[in-house]
Amino acid sequence: MAFAKGPLAASPSLDALYPELDAFYIDLHRNPELSGHEEKTAAKLADRLRSLGYEVTTGFSGTGLVALMRNGKGPTLLLRADMDALPVEEKTGLPYASKVTVKGPGGNLVPVMHACGHDVHMTSLVGAAAMLAKMKDRWQGTLLLIGQPAEETVHGAKGMLNAGLYTKFPKPNYVVALHDNAELPSGTVGYASGFVYANVDSVDITIFGKGGHGAYPHKTIDPVVIAARTVLALQTLVSRESNPLDPAVVTVGSIHGGTKNNIIPDEVKLQLTVRSYKDEVRKRLLASIVRVAKAEAAAANAPKEPSVVFFEPTDATYNDPALTQRVAAVLSNALGSANVTQIPPTMGAEDFSEFGKAGVPAMMFSIGAVEPQKYEKAKATGASLPSLHSPEFAPDRERTIRTGVSSLTAVALDLLQSGPKK
């Protein structure tokens, strides 16, 4: 990928660097590691960054990695890449597909795959680190690069901050990250200003009844019926109690109860994901879930109130508007304005939100990962493309990696000046 103008016009050739990056990516893809177990992944990332002249700290907040390059007085820029993979069996058919299986949290063997593109993120970070190490005459300040563990379990960013990321290392003036996008053609970039990812809460509800024989329901209190009513009532929290202009999602993703056709169980378990942008909407949804669950149980004369447990909270990711405007302009200059588009926010989640919440302007942008011809064909026919977390997701690796490296490098060159632009 060549640039006719912009901050990368006179940069060291990405062509010369790419074969090494390609090999690094393939190695990462073949050898994924689950959240909190990124030991070998972090070691590979650390070796690359050390070889480029960065000061590297490993084992930070578990398997986290922090790398520094100081280049005189100026701003500090944090570039973040996440390292963990998912418990997904790869079905891409690629020659470098993952065949890794490990023991999961429950002790059973699970397959592992980089189904969310964190291998792309790490490779892009290494590529930008290499480019910037050779371009020190074109920037000043401090580069702070991190390999973050446990993004998929939304513990990694908060863990690194709690361990002193902003106090034991130079506190950044800006935090930037990229994420590959399975709905954009490779070679392009998408961005959103303001909210870009949602608040997310997981909720487990246990509904209690009085079990018995299916032939004598009058002698029981059926938690299956209570659960059914609860699921339907929960839908009104969005359709009838939320302002239609405030995004909100309440999804019941799992129902478990009973063992046999003719046995009414003692309890039924529901598992929910709840999503929003505004804090006031989030609080109301969570409180209303408790209200509805208790009310439906009481209406059925359940023997006791249901158990409602909230866990894995993730706050909404907010792209600082001023930083977003600046980054979008840099990317348009580097990649061409036709390749940079504003995209709508999503109801997905990212623990990248923690870096901005800690008081630093933060911004995450998307890089397209779909081979352009496949993208155009899907757009023309209405066919769906493999999404992130799909066992069939496979980035168009060269164009995607080149765009990631070029984007991060261009953004760093702009932000690492003697002061913010007016």
pLDDT in tens, 164-191: 999 999 999 999 999 999 999 999 999 9
Residue 344: phi, psi to the nearest 5? -75, 155
d(CA 174, CA 359): 10
> Mean of the pLDDT values across residues 415-420?
70
What tokens does 287 get?
A: 């409180």
Phi/psi-derived region of residue 322, left when phi > 0, alpha when psi is between -120 and 50, beta in every other case: alpha
pLDDT at 6 over 60: no
In this structure, what DSSP letter does residue 86 have?
A: B
Q: Is the dihedral of CA 41, 44, 49, 53 positive or negative?
A: positive
pLDDT exceeding 90 applies to what percent of the chain?
94
How many Cα atoms occupy the beta-carbon half-sphere of 13 within 13 Å?
Answer: 3
pLDDT at 145 over 90: yes
Q: What is the homologous superfamily of the domain 14-198+316-415 according to CATH?
A: Zn peptidases (3.40.630.10)
Q: Is the dihedral of CA 17, 18, 23, 26 positive or negative?
A: positive
pLDDT at 9 over 60: no
146-155 core/surface letters (b: 16 or more CB in 10 A; e: else): bbbbbbbebb
Confidence at 12, pLDDT banded by 50, 70, 90: low
What tokens does 219 get?
A: 């002698």
pLDDT in tens, 190-247: 999 999 999 999 999 999 999 999 999 999 999 999 999 999 999 999 999 999 999 9
Indicate whether this model's pTM tops 0.85: yes
Tokens 């046999």 belong to 260
pLDDT in tens, 289-334: 999 999 999 999 999 999 999 999 999 999 999 999 999 999 999 9
Secondary structure of residue 422 in the 3-state scheme: coil
pLDDT at 353 over 90: yes
pLDDT at 8 over 70: no
Does the domain at 201-313 match CATH 3.30.1050.10? Answer given as no
Q: How many other β-carbons are positioned within 10 Å of the β-carbon of residue 338? A: 8
The residues, any chain, with a CB within 8 Å of residue 347's CB and separated by 6 or more, are 197, 198, 247, 249, 275
> Mean of the pLDDT values across residues 146-163?
97
What tokens does 353 get?
A: 């939100």
pLDDT in tens, 84-120: 999 999 999 999 999 999 998 888 999 999 999 999 9
d(CA 282, CA 345): 17
Confidence at 421, pLDDT banded by 50, 70, 90: very low
pLDDT at 404 over 80: yes
Average pLDDT across the chain, whole number: 95
Query: 110 pairs with which residues across the strands?
Result: 102
Domain regions of the chain by residue span:
14-198+316-415, 201-313
